[in-house]
C-alpha cells in the first residue's frame, strides 16, 4: 500500500512546485516590465542632463539615450517570452484540473479499501471496491498517460520559449553595449583650462551613423540557428 500513498503525496509536491513557478515567473515578468519603464525614464533624463552641456555631451547623451530606450524595447520583448513560458506551463495546470474528479474518486476508493482491510470486514465488500477501483483506473489510464506525455511536451516547449527569449535579449543587449561604447568614445575628455575654448566637436556624423547601425543590427538580428529551438506556440 505504501506505493499508493507515496504517489498521492508526490503529486501535491509537484503541483506546489508548478504553482510556485507560475507565481514567481509572473513576478519576474513584472520586474522586467518595470525595469524597461525605469530604464526608459532614466535614458530620457540622461538626454535632458546632457542637452545643455555643450556639443559633445549633448550629442553623446542624446544618441546613447536613444540606444538605451531601444534597450527598454528589448526588455519588453523578453517580458513577452517570460509570459509565454508561463502560459505554456499554466496549460499543464489547466489540463490537470480536468483529471481531478477521477483522481479524487480513486483516492476515495483506495481509502475505503484500506479502512475495510484493516477492520477485517467482509471480503466481498472489499473485492467489490477493488473491482470498482480497477475499472476506474483502466478507464482513466489513457487520460493519465496523455497527461504524463503532455507534461513533458509543455515543459520542454515552455523552457525553449524562455531560453530562446533569453538568447534574443542577450544578443540584442550586447548590440546596445557594443555600439553604445562607440558612441561614448566620442566624448571629448581632454581637460580645458579656464578661459580656453574646448575644441569644436566633430563626432556628430559618426555617432549618427553608429546609432543607425545599431538600430539596423537590432532589427535585422536573427537567432543563431544552432542555438534556437523551434517551439509550437512562438509567433
Segment contacting a second copy by CB under 8 A, of 6-14, 109-117, 200-208, 209-217: 6-14
Residues 183-212 that bind a second copy (CB under 8 A): 184-185, 187-189, 191-196
Q: Decide whether 45 or 73 has the Cβ nearer to a second copy.
A: 45
Q: E strand or H helix at 25, and its extent?
A: helix 2-50
Footprint of a second copy on 79-108 (CB under 8 A): none
Helical packing angle, 123-184 and 204-219, nearest 10°: 160
CA dist 168 and 33 (Å) reads: 16
Inter-residue contact 181 to 211 (CB < 8 Å): no
Place of cell 542577450: 170
Q: Pick from 4, 8, 21, 204: which binds a second copy (CB under 8 A)?
A: 21
Which window, 21-29, 102-110, 120-128, 203-211, contacts a second copy (CB under 8 A)? 21-29
Size of the site for a second copy (CB under 8 A): 81
Touching a second copy, residues 123-182 (CB under 8 A): 141-142, 144-146, 148-149, 151-153, 155-156, 159-160, 163-164, 166-167, 169-171, 173-174, 176-178, 180-181
Span interacting with a second copy, options 52-60, 117-125, 201-209, 214-222, rule CB under 8 A: 52-60
3-state secondary structure (DSSP) of residue 57: helix
Nearer to a second copy, 113 or 154 (CB): 154
Nearer Cβ to a second copy (82/126): 82
Separation CA 60–CA 45 (nearest Å): 13
165 neighbors 80 (Cβ within 8 angstroms) = yes
Out of 48, 73, 127, 128, point to the residue binding a second copy (CB under 8 A): 48
Residue (31 or 123) nearer to a second copy, CB = 31
Helix, strand, coil shares, percent, the chain, to 5: 80, 0, 20
Residues 6 or more apart whose CB falls under 8 angstroms from that of 86 comprise 21, 22, 25, 26, 29, 158
Amino acid at each position: 500500500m505504501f506505493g499508493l500513498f507515496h504517489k498521492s503525496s508526490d503529486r501535491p509536491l509537484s503541483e506546489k512546485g508548478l504553482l510556485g513557478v507560475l507565481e514567481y515567473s509572473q513576478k519576474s515578468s513584472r520586474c522586467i516590465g518595470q525595469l524597461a519603464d525605469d530604464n526608459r525614464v532614466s535614458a530620457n533624463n540622461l538626454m535632458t542632463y546632457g542637452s545643455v552641456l555643450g556639443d559633445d555631451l549633448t550629442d553623446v547623451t542624446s544618441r546613447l539615450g536613444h540606444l538605451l530606450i531601444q534597450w527598454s524595447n528589448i526588455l519588453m520583448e523578453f517580458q513577452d517570452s517570460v509570459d509565454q513560458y508561463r502560459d505554456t506551463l499554466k496549460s499543464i495546470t489547466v489540463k490537470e484540473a480536468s483529471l481531478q474528479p477521477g483522481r479524487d474518486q480513486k483516492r476515495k476508493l483506495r481509502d475505503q479499501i484500506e479502512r475495510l482491510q484493516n477492520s477485517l470486514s467482509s471480503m466481498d465488500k472489499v473485492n467489490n471496491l477493488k473491482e470498482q477501483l480497477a475499472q476506474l483506473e483502466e478507464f482513466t489510464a489513457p487520460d493519465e498517460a496523455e497527461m504524463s506525455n503532455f507534461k513533458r511536451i509543455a515543459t520542454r516547449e515552455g523552457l525553449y520559449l524562455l531560453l530562446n527569449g533569453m538568447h534574443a535579449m542577450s544578443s540584442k543587449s550586447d548590440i546596445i553595449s557594443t555600439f553604445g561604447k562607440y558612441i561614448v568614445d566620442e566624448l571629448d575628455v581632454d581637460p580645458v583650462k579656464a578661459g580656453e575654448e574646448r575644441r569644436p566637436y566633430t563626432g556628430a556624423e559618426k555617432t549618427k551613423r553608429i546609432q543607425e547601425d545599431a538600430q539596423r543590427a537590432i532589427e535585422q538580428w536573427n537567432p543563431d540557428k544552432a542555438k534556437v529551438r523551434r517551439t509550437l506556440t512562438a509567433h
